[in-house]
Amino acid sequence: MDKPVTIIISDLHVGGGPNDPGDDHVYDTNQFVRFLESLRADNPEQEGHIELIINGDFLEFGQVRPEVYALASALYWCSQSESLQKLEAIVQGHTNFFEALKKFQETGNRVTLAAGNHDVDLYWPRVQNCLRDVAGPLLFELGHATYTRYDGRLLIGHGHMYDPANRFDHWDNPILEEPSGDDRLEMCPGTLFMTKFVNWLETVYPFADNIKPVTALGRVLWKESKLGLLSVAWVLFEFSARHPIASLGTSEKPPDIGGIIRQTFDLDLAFQEKVVALYREVYERNAPIATVRQAIDTDEGVWGFIRDLIGKVSPERWLPVFDRTLPETLAIDSDEVKTLSILSSGIKDEKQLLRETARGFFL
């Protein structure tokens, strides 16, 4: 029997193993290794004709060794050396996984890794070389939102490029030159939210990392009555709403977070002083109050400021400045909380969005 067989799996999010609190992959009974062995044993006639495609987010670079990524940026993710340090922890934590992948290919089977939003680090040449050293002659699918097999009859995609919170502007080649001249990977909003906020939030609320995707956690935060957490959710949703594919054309309006922040800035001198101090830390050391007021004079300005705060200042330092209970006259109506969903921010539920996108390929 020489008919090729394609097996597709995804989203294992393999981390640093038993010593890594950020490793959410389930491997207590060696499930992945046993799965690879079963592919070879179930039908020996197919041996050598199987392609296993791990279709994105095989490796959890975002949460492994978070201290390795020390850049304070909302735009740039890891350098090649930082990604390699994260990969080293993953490989050491799951050596049996990579040995099993190598063994699986010894008889001619193929293994293809497609990059997802959590393992964009696969674009680095040295990361690819390291993986081939430990896991055999891996193939990589990079640079396209979708790819095909069987003369186009099988269409495959991880889906993140159709998810506004996790898409990349340069997926064809997300290796960018940072202003300092160093090459770094592009940072997508979901990665920023996870590495700079969710990783911290998990130390306070351990369940936070189990809420997937990040937009679902954003909706949880939106139900809070504290301005700081609302601001984080607002930044995530507003970023998502900017992507044209997600627009509903809805007339519904989210609570005016930008207006609340501007009003509080003008009325509360203590809040104003702290916001000015944060602005100076993020942008301009000696910026006068007038400059800060002008910078946040629009929702766009407030949104950019909060986004850069998330990227450059640790939450335990900036969140208390904003985490005030909303005045009753500005509080969010309880019915509106129930429907903020992603609708109130002008974007669709992510599952609905992905279903409609997939349907569009066949119309």
A 10 A CB-CB count for 59 gives 29
Give me the phi and psi of 245, to 5 degrees please. Answer: -65, -20
Q: Which residues pair with 141 in a beta bridge?
A: 114
CB 74 within 8 A of CB 29: no
Distance CA 214, CA 165 (A): 8
Q: Is the pLDDT of residue 145 over 80?
A: yes
Residue 175, judged by CB atoms within 10 A of its CB (0-12, 13-18, 19+), counts as: middle
Instruction: Give helix 31-41 / helix 95-105 axis angle, nearest 10°.
Output: 10
Reply yes or no: is the peptide bond before residue 21 cis, omega within 30 of 0: no
Query: Which range in 152-166, 223-237, 285-299 is most confidently predicted, on average pLDDT?
Result: 285-299
Distance CA 305, CA 318 (A): 12
pLDDT at 247: 32
CA angle at 228 for the pair 224 and 234, rounded to the nearest 5°: 75
Residue 64, CA distances (Å) to 15, 59, 194, 196, 261 in order = 6, 9, 12, 13, 34
In this structure, of 142-156, 212-226, 233-247, 262-276, the range with the lowest mean pLDDT score is 233-247
In this structure, of 39-43, 137-141, 228-232, 327-331, the range with the lowest mean pLDDT score is 327-331
pTM of the model: 0.81
Distance CA 80, CA 126 (A): 7
pLDDT at 69: 92
- Nearest by Cα to 164 from 236, 240, 232: 240
Q: What is the pLDDT of residues 206-238, one digit of tens each?
A: 666 666 666 667 667 766 667 887 787 777 766
In this structure, of 108-112, 153-157, 240-244, 249-253, the range with the lowest mean pLDDT score is 249-253
pLDDT at 109: 95
pLDDT at 343: 34
Quick one: average pLDDT of 160-169? 86
- Sorting pLDDT into bands at 50, 70 and 90, what band is 353? low
> Could you please report the per-residue DSSP string of 291-360?
HHHHHTSSHHHHHHHHHHHHHHS-HHHHHHHH--BPPGGGSPPHHHHHHHTTGGGTB--HHHHHHHHHHH
Distance of CA 334 to the CA centre of its chain: 29
- Sorting pLDDT into bands at 50, 70 and 90, what band is 129? very high
Distance CA 363, CA 61 (A): 36
SS3 assignment, position 24: coil
pLDDT at 325: 57
pLDDT at 337: 35
Residue 330, judged by CB atoms within 10 A of its CB (0-12, 13-18, 19+), counts as: middle
Q: What is the pLDDT of residues 310-339, one digit of tens each?
A: 889 988 899 889 876 555 444 434 343 333
More confident residue, 239 or 137: 137
**Exposure letters 13-23 (e unless 16+ CB within 10 A, then b):** bbbbbeebebb
Distance of CA 314 to the CA centre of its chain: 18
Q: What is the pLDDT of residues 234-259, one digit of tens each?
A: 777 666 555 433 333 333 445 678 88
pLDDT at 215: 64
User: For the chain, what percent of residues have pLDDT higher than 90?
Assistant: 50
Average pLDDT value over all residues in the chain: 83
pLDDT at 346: 38
SS3 assignment, position 166: coil
